[in-house]
Amino acid sequence: MNAAQQEKILRVENLEVVYNDVVLVLKGLSLAAEKGKITALLGANGAGKSTTLKAISGLLEGEDGEVTEGAVVYKDKAIHNTPPDKIVRSGIFQVMEGRRVFEDLTVEENLKCGAYTRPRSEYAGNLDKVYGYFPRLKERRKQLAGYMSGGEQQMLAIGRAIMASPKLLLLDEPSLGLAPLLVEEIFGIIKRFNEQEAVTILLVEQNARAALTIASQGYIMENGRIVLDGAAEELLGNPDVQEFYLGLSHGGERRSYRDVKHYRRRKRWLG
């Protein structure tokens, strides 16, 4: 199947987003997510990655943000002016940065909250599915979420999203604050979930290596724009990506950000 034939379940077209009527955050941003695949959106803090997800999921208004140009198109229908509850019901679910579980509720009560848009008949099957991907949650199902570790809370946040039976899952920095081994475990589960359920995933990450290892396509953002995109494998092998986002020079030695930030070749794609 060639690129023209691949179905794009999500298209972000020349998007501009402004906060408080004056702060331009996204500047003509365009990207697409192929149906049933994992797409990675990478970039440093402040690049506009989280704003992109909020524009897709309809959460800008609560932060005095708005789409001023362009469109968000899901299944060939523009949704950028759609209320967030209708976006969730259409099959899009976002896992927010920082996990945001309900700390005073148990694990199972948190999961039940994720199922509120689904028919009651789906609840038991989806709960079994979550416990299949995250056995640790089943062990702790009666425990208050606030007493769980950061990694367990991240599992719970993703599990809550699975309860909503998403068609498009938006993951915002799932590796944030987690130890490398735990990142590897969670990303392995994300990949397995994608393969077994054929759910399209848009993954926002600063951890470029972890994201590109499980993604099929990647985009790199700087200052509200896409500056580089391509197949994940190609991006992993790209010298500019290795230098700036993976911290490796041509010789393979790791370099500090202070060294890298003065390296002019990394900017050549901005032309």
Please tell me the distance from the alpha carbon of residue 75 to that of residue 13, in angstroms, as a whole number.
Answer: 13
Q: Hey, what CATH class is 8-91+166-266 in?
A: alpha beta
Q: How close are the terminal C-alpha atoms of the chain, in Å? A: 32
Segment 141-184, tens digit of pLDDT = 999 999 999 999 999 999 999 999 999 999 999 998 899 999 99
pLDDT for residue 205: 92
Q: What are the 10-residue block averages of pLDDT along the chain, 271 residues in total? A: 68 96 94 97 91 95 93 96 93 89 95 92 96 96 95 95 96 92 94 96 93 96 93 91 69 45 44 38
Q: Is 198 helix (H, G, I), strand (E, B) or coil?
A: coil
pLDDT for residue 44: 85
β-sheet bridge partners, residue 229: 219
Q: Tokens 């999203």 label which residue?
A: 161
CA atoms within 13 A on the CB side of 74: 24
Question: What are the residues whose beta carbons fall under 8 Å from the beta carbon of 98, sequence distance 6 or more?
Answer: 173, 176
Amino acid sitting at position 264 = R
Residue 212 burial (10 A CB sphere; 0-12, 13-18, 19+): buried
* Domain-wise residue ranges, the chain: 8-91+166-266
CA atoms within 13 A on the CB side of 132: 12
For residues 40 and 205, the answer to whether their CB atoms sit within 8 Å is yes
Please tell me the distance from the alpha carbon of residue 222 to that of residue 123, in angstroms, as a whole number.
Answer: 41
Q: Is 141 helix (H, G, I), strand (E, B) or coil?
A: coil
Please tell me the distance from the alpha carbon of residue 217 to that of residue 201, in angstroms, as a whole number.
Answer: 11
pLDDT for residue 242: 82
Which residues in 14-31 are b (16+ Cβ under 10 Å) and which e?
Answer: ebbbbeeeeeebbeebeb
Please tell me the distance from the alpha carbon of residue 213 to that of residue 224, in angstroms, as a whole number.
Answer: 24
pLDDT for residue 267: 47
Q: How far is CA 263 from the centre of its chain?
A: 28
For residues 27 and 68, the answer to whether their CB atoms sit within 8 Å is no
CA atoms within 13 A on the CB side of 21: 0
Please tell me the distance from the alpha carbon of residue 268 to that of residue 271, in angstroms, as a whole number.
Answer: 5
Q: Record the pTM.
A: 0.88
pLDDT for residue 247: 64
Backbone angles phi, psi at 21, to 5 degrees: 70, 0
